[in-house]
Amino acid sequence: MMPVRTTSSLLPVITLLLTLLTECAGQSGLGWWDIWQYDGLQGPEYWGKSHSAWRLCSEGKQQSPIDLRAERLLYDPDLQRFEVEAPRGISGVIQNTGRRVVFSLDRSSPVVRIFGGPLSYRYNLHEIEIKFGDDDSHGSEHAVNGKPFPLEVQLTFYNERYTSYARAEESVQGLVKLGIFVLPWNETSRGLSKLTAIDVVKDIVYRGDEVNVTNFNVKQLFPRTFEYLTYEGSLTIPGCFETVTWIIMNKPLRISRYQLNSLRELVRDFQDDDSFRPFQNTFRPIQLLGRRAIRTNIAKRVEDPEFDKACPQSRRQIKYKVSTTP
């Protein structure tokens, strides 16, 4: 009788493959920090195993993204609106990195800051990333009551106490990431349209492609609401540092079906490669919330006569839902 091959017996093989991948990366001029993907042996399941600096990806207790369950929301009356300080027009580059579609500010561009709300410090904008899937059933990293959105825009800010993003990402209260869900609609929201315009997307089809974006008004990206959810979490890419205050807006943006489909035509390979893989499903799987609190300033209360009778003085929020109309 042949022995059954167990999962544990596969671990040395996986470790060997990861080691070979790292060695090949070194020979090609890439560093070990570049060896990760969203699928296969370089996917999220193996991030924490591929290098000790990424151990939080598998061992961390405050990882992101999470499922925003309505029953886990805690109303915090002290959560005020946050403020965004931004010039009307900034410049930068939007790039297809093969793993991410990301807008980075020019060094000469004026500083964009966020402060107030759940934040004790002021944070400077570092980049804006667009997460999406190959169909409408998934795409966002965060979910609401188990349901993801087709797309999520994430703005990353770093604490201005630090001289650079690199120092801030490993430091306590170093980062803020602001997530905005996006729904397919007849038209695209103004701020988002600047990043997803057909003229922009057609120039970043292949890995390494980039295009300049000028006169971008970041404030137009923010939905017309002061309501949000916030929790303490992590980066959703290696090394998964648990230094992030997440803010999730309670109203989605819009994107036209045409622009959404154009994003789904991007590929994650170089133009001169032999074959092309679609640039899709660039999101990390949902992580456990554990004992973390998800606080909110959403004060809309759903009446429950039985609960009110039993606890007439309670200020607890009974039920929440995220807006589904842009």
Among 143, 162, 157, CA closest to 244: 157
Q: Tokens 């965060």 identify what position?
A: 142
Q: Are 133 and 143 in contact (CB under 8 A)?
A: no
Residue 218 identity (one-letter amino acid): V
Greatest CA separation for the chain: 73
Q: Are 47 and 32 in contact (CB under 8 A)?
A: no
* Pairing assessment for the beta strands 82-85 and 175-185 based on DSSP bridges: unpaired
Among 285, 272, 291, 301, CA closest to 205: 272
Neighbours of 213 (CB within 10 A): 20
Which position among 38, 123, 162, 228 bears the catalytic label?
Answer: 162
Distance in angstroms (rounded) separating the CA atoms of residues 94 and 156: 14
Residue 121 among the catalytic residues: no
How would you label 143-165 residue by residue, b for 16+ Cβ within 10 Å and e otherwise? Answer: bbeeebbbbbbbbbbbbeebeeb
Distance in angstroms (rounded) separating the CA atoms of residues 325 and 65: 23
Among 303, 284, 295, 241, CA closest to 82: 295
Among 120, 107, 114, 122, CA closest to 85: 114
Which residues are catalytically annotated?
162
